[in-house]
Structure 1
Protein backbone atom coordinates (compact mmCIF):
# COMPACT_ATOMS: atom_id res chain seq x y z
CA UNK A 1 0.00 0.00 0.00
CA UNK A 2 1.31 3.45 -0.90
CA UNK A 3 2.09 6.05 1.74
CA UNK A 4 -0.74 8.35 2.78
CA UNK A 5 -0.58 11.72 1.05
CA UNK A 6 -2.03 15.13 1.77
CA UNK A 7 -4.11 15.95 -1.31
CA UNK A 8 -5.67 19.33 -2.06
CA UNK A 9 -8.38 19.42 -4.75
CA UNK A 10 -9.40 22.74 -6.26
CA UNK A 11 -12.91 22.40 -7.65
CA UNK A 12 -13.47 19.48 -5.31
CA UNK A 13 -17.28 19.51 -5.48
CA UNK A 14 -17.65 19.30 -9.27
CA UNK A 15 -18.09 16.14 -11.30
CA UNK A 16 -14.41 15.25 -11.62
CA UNK A 17 -13.36 16.79 -8.32
CA UNK A 18 -15.90 14.92 -6.22
CA UNK A 19 -15.02 11.60 -7.89
CA UNK A 20 -11.34 12.24 -7.17
CA UNK A 21 -12.06 13.18 -3.55
CA UNK A 22 -14.10 10.04 -3.02
CA UNK A 23 -11.47 7.74 -4.48
CA UNK A 24 -8.64 9.42 -2.56
CA UNK A 25 -10.46 9.02 0.77
CA UNK A 26 -11.25 5.38 -0.02
CA UNK A 27 -7.52 4.83 -0.43
CA UNK A 28 -6.75 6.40 2.93
CA UNK A 29 -5.37 9.75 1.83
CA UNK A 30 -5.95 13.05 3.63
CA UNK A 31 -8.16 15.16 1.35
CA UNK A 32 -9.09 18.85 1.38
CA UNK A 33 -11.55 20.06 -1.25
CA UNK A 34 -11.77 23.75 -2.14
CA UNK A 35 -14.86 25.08 -3.90
CA UNK A 36 -17.14 28.09 -4.01
CA UNK A 37 -20.21 25.93 -3.45
CA UNK A 38 -21.00 23.45 -0.72
CA UNK A 39 -21.11 19.84 -1.90
CA UNK A 40 -24.53 18.44 -2.74
CA UNK A 41 -23.41 15.09 -1.33
CA UNK A 42 -20.42 15.53 1.01
CA UNK A 43 -17.90 12.71 1.01
CA UNK A 44 -17.17 11.39 4.48
CA UNK A 45 -13.59 12.08 5.43
CA UNK A 46 -13.11 15.08 3.13
CA UNK A 47 -12.39 18.49 4.64
CA UNK A 48 -14.28 21.14 2.68
CA UNK A 49 -13.08 24.73 2.37
CA UNK A 50 -15.28 27.44 0.88
CA UNK A 51 -13.28 29.69 -1.47
CA UNK A 52 -13.20 30.79 -5.08
CA UNK A 53 -10.26 28.77 -6.37
CA UNK A 54 -10.28 30.72 -9.65
CA UNK A 55 -10.01 34.08 -7.93
CA UNK A 56 -8.64 33.63 -4.42
CA UNK A 57 -5.01 33.10 -3.41
CA UNK A 58 -5.40 29.56 -2.08
CA UNK A 59 -3.18 28.36 0.78
CA UNK A 60 -1.75 24.97 -0.19
CA UNK A 61 -0.98 24.14 3.42
CA UNK A 62 0.83 20.81 3.77
CA UNK A 63 -0.40 19.46 0.43
CA UNK A 64 1.93 17.02 -1.29
CA UNK A 65 -0.34 16.71 -4.32
CA UNK A 66 -2.43 19.56 -5.73
CA UNK A 67 -5.24 18.60 -8.10
CA UNK A 68 -6.84 21.24 -10.31
CA UNK A 69 -10.38 20.33 -11.39
CA UNK A 70 -11.61 23.84 -12.21
CA UNK A 71 -14.07 24.91 -14.89
CA UNK A 72 -13.90 28.46 -16.29
CA UNK A 73 -17.61 28.87 -16.82
CA UNK A 74 -20.04 31.79 -16.78
CA UNK A 75 -18.42 34.80 -15.09
CA UNK A 76 -15.16 32.85 -14.68
CA UNK A 77 -14.58 32.44 -18.41
CA UNK A 78 -11.13 33.60 -19.40
CA UNK A 79 -9.58 33.07 -15.97
CA UNK A 80 -8.29 29.49 -16.06
CA UNK A 81 -4.79 30.15 -17.44
CA UNK A 82 -4.11 32.99 -15.01
CA UNK A 83 -5.33 30.89 -12.07
CA UNK A 84 -3.34 27.83 -13.07
CA UNK A 85 -0.16 29.84 -13.71
CA UNK A 86 -0.43 31.10 -10.14
CA UNK A 87 -1.05 27.54 -8.97
CA UNK A 88 1.98 26.29 -10.92
CA UNK A 89 4.19 28.79 -9.10
CA UNK A 90 2.77 27.96 -5.67
CA UNK A 91 2.96 24.20 -6.23
CA UNK A 92 6.56 24.42 -7.44
CA UNK A 93 7.52 26.51 -4.41
CA UNK A 94 5.87 23.98 -2.09
CA UNK A 95 7.67 21.05 -3.71
CA UNK A 96 4.33 19.39 -4.40
CA UNK A 97 3.05 17.57 -7.47
CA UNK A 98 0.49 19.29 -9.72
CA UNK A 99 -2.18 17.15 -11.41
CA UNK A 100 -4.69 18.88 -13.67
CA UNK A 101 -7.96 17.55 -15.05
CA UNK A 102 -7.61 18.31 -18.75
CA UNK A 103 -9.94 18.19 -21.70
CA UNK A 104 -10.57 15.60 -24.41
CA UNK A 105 -10.09 18.18 -27.17
CA UNK A 106 -6.47 18.64 -26.07
CA UNK A 107 -5.72 15.14 -27.36
CA UNK A 108 -4.74 14.17 -30.90
CA UNK A 109 -6.64 11.88 -33.28
CA UNK A 110 -3.38 10.18 -34.23
CA UNK A 111 0.31 10.54 -33.50
CA UNK A 112 1.77 13.70 -35.00
CA UNK A 113 -1.63 15.19 -35.84
CA UNK A 114 -2.70 18.58 -34.45
CA UNK A 115 -4.54 18.49 -31.14
CA UNK A 116 -8.25 18.40 -31.79
CA UNK A 117 -8.92 21.88 -30.45
CA UNK A 118 -6.27 23.22 -32.83
CA UNK A 119 -7.12 21.29 -35.98
CA UNK A 120 -10.89 20.73 -35.98
CA UNK A 121 -13.99 22.88 -36.03
CA UNK A 122 -16.57 22.16 -33.37
CA UNK A 123 -20.01 21.24 -34.77
CA UNK A 124 -22.63 23.99 -34.39
CA UNK A 125 -24.57 22.05 -31.75
CA UNK A 126 -21.66 22.33 -29.30
CA UNK A 127 -22.41 25.19 -26.86
CA UNK A 128 -20.05 28.14 -27.06
CA UNK A 129 -19.25 27.78 -23.35
CA UNK A 130 -17.88 24.29 -24.03
CA UNK A 131 -15.71 25.59 -26.88
CA UNK A 132 -14.35 28.39 -24.69
CA UNK A 133 -13.54 25.93 -21.91
CA UNK A 134 -11.76 23.61 -24.34
CA UNK A 135 -9.61 26.48 -25.63
CA UNK A 136 -8.73 27.53 -22.09
CA UNK A 137 -7.64 23.99 -21.25
CA UNK A 138 -5.38 24.02 -24.30
CA UNK A 139 -3.86 27.32 -23.15
CA UNK A 140 -3.07 25.69 -19.81
CA UNK A 141 -1.50 22.63 -21.46
CA UNK A 142 0.64 24.88 -23.66
CA UNK A 143 1.85 26.71 -20.55
CA UNK A 144 2.81 23.41 -18.94
CA UNK A 145 4.60 22.19 -22.07
CA UNK A 146 6.55 25.45 -22.23
CA UNK A 147 7.54 25.32 -18.55
CA UNK A 148 11.30 24.93 -18.10
CA UNK A 149 11.34 24.68 -14.32
CA UNK A 150 11.44 21.52 -12.24
CA UNK A 151 7.66 21.58 -11.60
CA UNK A 152 6.34 18.02 -11.31
CA UNK A 153 3.11 18.15 -13.36
CA UNK A 154 0.63 15.83 -15.03
CA UNK A 155 -2.25 16.80 -17.35
CA UNK A 156 -4.91 14.05 -17.45
CA UNK A 157 -7.39 14.25 -20.33
CA UNK A 158 -10.57 12.19 -19.92
CA UNK A 159 -12.43 10.49 -22.76
CA UNK A 160 -14.94 12.37 -24.90
CA UNK A 161 -17.89 11.04 -22.89
CA UNK A 162 -17.09 12.29 -19.42
CA UNK A 163 -19.40 14.65 -17.56
CA UNK A 164 -22.31 14.89 -15.16
CA UNK A 165 -24.54 14.69 -18.24
CA UNK A 166 -22.83 11.49 -19.44
CA UNK A 167 -21.79 9.86 -16.14
CA UNK A 168 -21.33 6.41 -17.64
CA UNK A 169 -21.03 3.18 -15.72
CA UNK A 170 -18.51 2.27 -13.05
CA UNK A 171 -16.75 -0.63 -14.79
CA UNK A 172 -13.75 -0.89 -12.52
CA UNK A 173 -11.25 -0.70 -15.36
CA UNK A 174 -9.55 1.83 -17.63
CA UNK A 175 -6.79 2.29 -20.17
CA UNK A 176 -4.10 4.95 -20.07
CA UNK A 177 -2.58 6.40 -23.22
CA UNK A 178 -0.41 9.33 -24.19
CA UNK A 179 -1.58 12.41 -26.05
CA UNK A 180 -3.48 10.37 -28.68
CA UNK A 181 -7.15 9.84 -27.85
CA UNK A 182 -8.26 6.32 -26.94
CA UNK A 183 -11.32 4.74 -28.57
CA UNK A 184 -12.84 1.29 -28.11
CA UNK A 185 -13.53 -1.23 -30.87
CA UNK A 186 -16.81 0.54 -31.65
CA UNK A 187 -15.16 3.93 -32.06
CA UNK A 188 -16.44 5.18 -28.71
CA UNK A 189 -14.39 7.24 -26.28
CA UNK A 190 -15.85 7.14 -22.76
CA UNK A 191 -14.88 6.94 -19.09
CA UNK A 192 -16.94 7.20 -15.91
CA UNK A 193 -16.06 9.52 -13.04
CA UNK A 194 -15.05 6.68 -10.69
CA UNK A 195 -12.83 4.99 -13.27
CA UNK A 196 -11.19 8.28 -14.25
CA UNK A 197 -10.52 8.93 -10.56
CA UNK A 198 -8.90 5.52 -10.15
CA UNK A 199 -6.55 6.25 -13.04
CA UNK A 200 -5.53 9.57 -11.50
CA UNK A 201 -5.03 8.09 -8.02
CA UNK A 202 -2.95 5.27 -9.49
CA UNK A 203 -0.67 7.93 -10.97
CA UNK A 204 -0.53 9.82 -7.69
CA UNK A 205 0.37 6.72 -5.70
CA UNK A 206 2.75 5.21 -8.27
CA UNK A 207 3.83 7.88 -10.78
CA UNK A 208 4.42 6.44 -14.23
CA UNK A 209 4.30 9.75 -16.11
CA UNK A 210 5.85 13.09 -15.21
CA UNK A 211 5.70 16.43 -16.97
CA UNK A 212 3.39 14.91 -19.54
CA UNK A 213 -0.16 14.70 -20.85
CA UNK A 214 -1.98 11.36 -20.64
CA UNK A 215 -5.44 10.28 -21.75
CA UNK A 216 -7.80 7.94 -19.91
CA UNK A 217 -10.62 5.93 -21.45
CA UNK A 218 -12.06 2.41 -21.66
Structure 2
Protein backbone atom coordinates (compact mmCIF):
# COMPACT_ATOMS: atom_id res chain seq x y z
CA UNK A 1 0.00 0.00 0.00
CA UNK A 2 1.22 3.51 -0.85
CA UNK A 3 0.23 6.62 1.10
CA UNK A 4 0.71 10.01 -0.53
CA UNK A 5 0.17 13.13 1.52
CA UNK A 6 1.66 16.32 0.13
CA UNK A 7 5.33 15.50 -0.45
CA UNK A 8 5.34 12.71 2.14
CA UNK A 9 5.33 9.22 0.58
CA UNK A 10 4.99 6.11 2.73
CA UNK A 11 4.62 2.37 2.10
CA UNK A 12 2.79 -0.22 4.18
CA UNK A 13 3.66 -3.88 3.54
CA UNK A 14 0.81 -6.25 4.39
CA UNK A 15 1.78 -9.50 6.05
CA UNK A 16 1.86 -11.40 9.31
CA UNK A 17 4.32 -9.10 11.05
CA UNK A 18 3.82 -5.71 12.63
CA UNK A 19 2.13 -3.23 10.29
CA UNK A 20 4.14 -0.02 10.13
CA UNK A 21 4.37 2.77 7.55
CA UNK A 22 7.82 3.35 6.09
CA UNK A 23 8.79 6.64 4.50
CA UNK A 24 10.23 6.41 0.98
CA UNK A 25 11.99 8.98 -1.16
CA UNK A 26 10.47 10.56 -4.27
CA UNK A 27 12.42 13.01 -6.42
CA UNK A 28 9.38 14.81 -7.86
CA UNK A 29 6.65 16.29 -5.61
CA UNK A 30 3.23 15.40 -7.04
CA UNK A 31 -0.38 14.48 -6.30
CA UNK A 32 -2.78 12.16 -8.10
CA UNK A 33 -5.43 13.59 -10.47
CA UNK A 34 -6.49 10.37 -12.24
CA UNK A 35 -9.71 8.43 -11.82
CA UNK A 36 -8.27 5.85 -9.48
CA UNK A 37 -5.08 3.85 -9.72
CA UNK A 38 -4.25 0.64 -11.54
CA UNK A 39 -1.83 -2.07 -10.43
CA UNK A 40 -0.49 -4.24 -13.29
CA UNK A 41 2.30 -6.80 -12.96
CA UNK A 42 3.64 -5.28 -9.76
CA UNK A 43 3.54 -1.65 -10.93
CA UNK A 44 1.06 0.93 -9.64
CA UNK A 45 0.07 3.56 -12.22
CA UNK A 46 -1.64 6.91 -11.77
CA UNK A 47 -1.76 10.32 -13.46
CA UNK A 48 -0.26 13.09 -11.33
CA UNK A 49 0.15 16.83 -11.34
CA UNK A 50 3.68 18.02 -10.61
CA UNK A 51 5.19 21.38 -9.82
CA UNK A 52 5.83 22.62 -13.37
CA UNK A 53 9.14 24.24 -14.26
CA UNK A 54 10.68 25.57 -17.44
CA UNK A 55 11.98 22.10 -18.27
CA UNK A 56 9.24 19.95 -16.78
CA UNK A 57 5.64 19.40 -17.88
CA UNK A 58 2.95 19.67 -15.18
CA UNK A 59 1.35 16.28 -15.83
CA UNK A 60 3.04 12.90 -15.65
CA UNK A 61 2.20 9.23 -15.52
CA UNK A 62 3.61 7.85 -12.28
CA UNK A 63 4.83 4.24 -12.30
CA UNK A 64 5.60 2.89 -8.84
CA UNK A 65 7.43 -0.45 -8.78
CA UNK A 66 6.14 -2.30 -5.72
CA UNK A 67 9.07 -4.72 -5.51
CA UNK A 68 11.86 -2.14 -5.62
CA UNK A 69 9.77 0.75 -4.21
CA UNK A 70 10.97 3.06 -6.96
CA UNK A 71 9.13 5.81 -8.85
CA UNK A 72 9.32 6.36 -12.60
CA UNK A 73 7.73 9.38 -14.30
CA UNK A 74 6.54 9.55 -17.91
CA UNK A 75 5.45 12.76 -19.63
CA UNK A 76 1.80 12.89 -20.72
CA UNK A 77 -0.39 15.54 -22.34
CA UNK A 78 -2.52 17.71 -20.08
CA UNK A 79 -5.68 16.62 -21.93
CA UNK A 80 -5.57 13.24 -20.20
CA UNK A 81 -5.19 14.56 -16.65
CA UNK A 82 -8.52 13.02 -15.61
CA UNK A 83 -8.21 9.87 -17.70
CA UNK A 84 -9.56 6.45 -16.78
CA UNK A 85 -6.81 3.87 -16.29
CA UNK A 86 -7.57 0.26 -17.25
CA UNK A 87 -5.78 -3.07 -17.49
CA UNK A 88 -5.71 -3.91 -21.20
CA UNK A 89 -4.41 -7.45 -21.65
CA UNK A 90 -1.68 -6.97 -19.06
CA UNK A 91 -0.74 -3.48 -20.23
CA UNK A 92 -1.80 -0.05 -19.03
CA UNK A 93 -4.60 1.45 -21.07
CA UNK A 94 -5.65 5.10 -20.84
CA UNK A 95 -9.05 6.34 -22.00
CA UNK A 96 -8.72 10.15 -22.33
CA UNK A 97 -10.76 12.40 -20.07
CA UNK A 98 -12.52 14.13 -22.95
CA UNK A 99 -14.22 10.81 -23.79
CA UNK A 100 -16.02 10.30 -20.50
CA UNK A 101 -19.52 10.70 -21.86
CA UNK A 102 -20.95 8.79 -24.79
CA UNK A 103 -24.32 9.00 -26.55
CA UNK A 104 -26.02 7.07 -29.30
CA UNK A 105 -24.45 9.48 -31.77
CA UNK A 106 -20.91 8.66 -30.64
CA UNK A 107 -19.13 6.63 -33.30
CA UNK A 108 -15.78 5.72 -31.76
CA UNK A 109 -13.61 5.35 -28.67
CA UNK A 110 -9.90 6.14 -28.36
CA UNK A 111 -7.54 4.36 -25.99
CA UNK A 112 -3.80 4.76 -25.53
CA UNK A 113 -1.82 1.66 -24.51
CA UNK A 114 1.58 1.71 -22.84
CA UNK A 115 3.38 -1.05 -24.76
CA UNK A 116 6.82 -0.54 -23.20
CA UNK A 117 7.16 1.35 -19.93
CA UNK A 118 10.98 1.31 -19.96
CA UNK A 119 11.29 2.79 -23.46
CA UNK A 120 8.12 4.89 -23.10
CA UNK A 121 6.45 3.44 -26.19
CA UNK A 122 2.73 4.05 -26.68
CA UNK A 123 0.20 2.89 -29.26
CA UNK A 124 -3.08 4.57 -30.14
CA UNK A 125 -6.15 2.37 -30.56
CA UNK A 126 -9.30 3.70 -32.26
CA UNK A 127 -12.43 1.57 -32.00
CA UNK A 128 -15.38 2.22 -34.30
CA UNK A 129 -18.69 1.27 -32.70
CA UNK A 130 -20.95 -1.16 -34.62
CA UNK A 131 -24.31 0.11 -35.93
CA UNK A 132 -26.14 -1.62 -33.05
CA UNK A 133 -24.55 0.83 -30.63
CA UNK A 134 -26.94 3.66 -31.55
CA UNK A 135 -30.03 1.49 -31.05
CA UNK A 136 -28.92 0.24 -27.63
CA UNK A 137 -27.84 3.61 -26.24
CA UNK A 138 -30.48 5.83 -27.80
CA UNK A 139 -30.66 9.35 -26.35
CA UNK A 140 -28.97 8.41 -23.09
CA UNK A 141 -25.60 9.68 -21.90
CA UNK A 142 -23.13 7.07 -20.70
CA UNK A 143 -19.72 7.13 -19.07
CA UNK A 144 -16.90 4.59 -19.17
CA UNK A 145 -16.54 2.85 -15.80
CA UNK A 146 -13.95 0.19 -16.57
CA UNK A 147 -12.65 -2.70 -18.63
CA UNK A 148 -13.30 -6.37 -17.86
CA UNK A 149 -10.81 -9.21 -18.12
CA UNK A 150 -12.49 -10.28 -21.37
CA UNK A 151 -11.68 -6.92 -23.03
CA UNK A 152 -15.19 -5.51 -22.70
CA UNK A 153 -15.41 -1.79 -21.97
CA UNK A 154 -18.28 -1.12 -19.56
CA UNK A 155 -20.49 1.95 -19.99
CA UNK A 156 -23.02 3.10 -17.42
CA UNK A 157 -25.51 5.96 -16.99
CA UNK A 158 -24.83 8.37 -14.14
CA UNK A 159 -28.51 8.58 -13.17
CA UNK A 160 -31.51 6.26 -12.90
CA UNK A 161 -34.63 7.29 -14.76
CA UNK A 162 -38.08 5.66 -14.66
CA UNK A 163 -36.88 2.79 -12.45
CA UNK A 164 -34.70 1.49 -15.30
CA UNK A 165 -30.98 0.90 -15.17
CA UNK A 166 -28.59 -0.91 -17.49
CA UNK A 167 -24.95 -1.16 -18.53
CA UNK A 168 -23.47 -1.48 -22.00
CA UNK A 169 -20.61 -3.87 -22.79
CA UNK A 170 -18.43 -3.15 -25.82
CA UNK A 171 -15.93 -5.85 -26.78
CA UNK A 172 -12.89 -4.15 -28.32
CA UNK A 173 -11.57 -7.43 -29.79
CA UNK A 174 -14.77 -8.73 -31.40
CA UNK A 175 -16.27 -5.26 -32.05
CA UNK A 176 -19.58 -6.34 -30.52
CA UNK A 177 -21.92 -4.52 -28.17
CA UNK A 178 -24.56 -5.79 -25.75
CA UNK A 179 -26.87 -4.30 -23.15
CA UNK A 180 -27.58 -5.76 -19.71
CA UNK A 181 -30.69 -4.63 -17.82
CA UNK A 182 -30.41 -4.52 -14.02
CA UNK A 183 -33.47 -4.91 -11.80
CA UNK A 184 -33.26 -2.44 -8.92
CA UNK A 185 -36.72 -2.76 -7.43
CA UNK A 186 -38.31 0.43 -6.09
CA UNK A 187 -36.25 3.58 -6.68
CA UNK A 188 -37.30 6.51 -4.42
CA UNK A 189 -36.73 9.28 -6.95
CA UNK A 190 -36.28 9.45 -10.69
CA UNK A 191 -32.94 11.04 -11.53
CA UNK A 192 -31.14 9.34 -8.64
CA UNK A 193 -27.37 9.46 -9.10
CA UNK A 194 -25.69 6.07 -9.21
CA UNK A 195 -22.08 4.92 -9.13
CA UNK A 196 -20.93 1.84 -11.06
CA UNK A 197 -17.71 -0.11 -10.51
CA UNK A 198 -16.08 -2.97 -12.40
CA UNK A 199 -14.50 -6.11 -10.91
CA UNK A 200 -15.61 -5.29 -7.38
CA UNK A 201 -14.67 -8.05 -4.93
CA UNK A 202 -16.16 -8.40 -1.48
CA UNK A 203 -15.25 -11.04 1.08
CA UNK A 204 -18.48 -12.56 2.35
CA UNK A 205 -16.75 -15.02 4.67
CA UNK A 206 -18.08 -14.96 8.22
CA UNK A 207 -15.31 -14.01 10.59
CA UNK A 208 -15.27 -15.99 13.80
CA UNK A 209 -18.02 -18.16 15.16
CA UNK A 210 -20.70 -17.79 17.77
What's the TM-score, normalizing by structure 1?
Answer: 0.28
Q: Per residue, is there more helix in 1 or in 2?
A: 1
Rg (Cα) greater in structure: 2
Q: Per residue, is there more strand in 1 or in 2?
A: 2
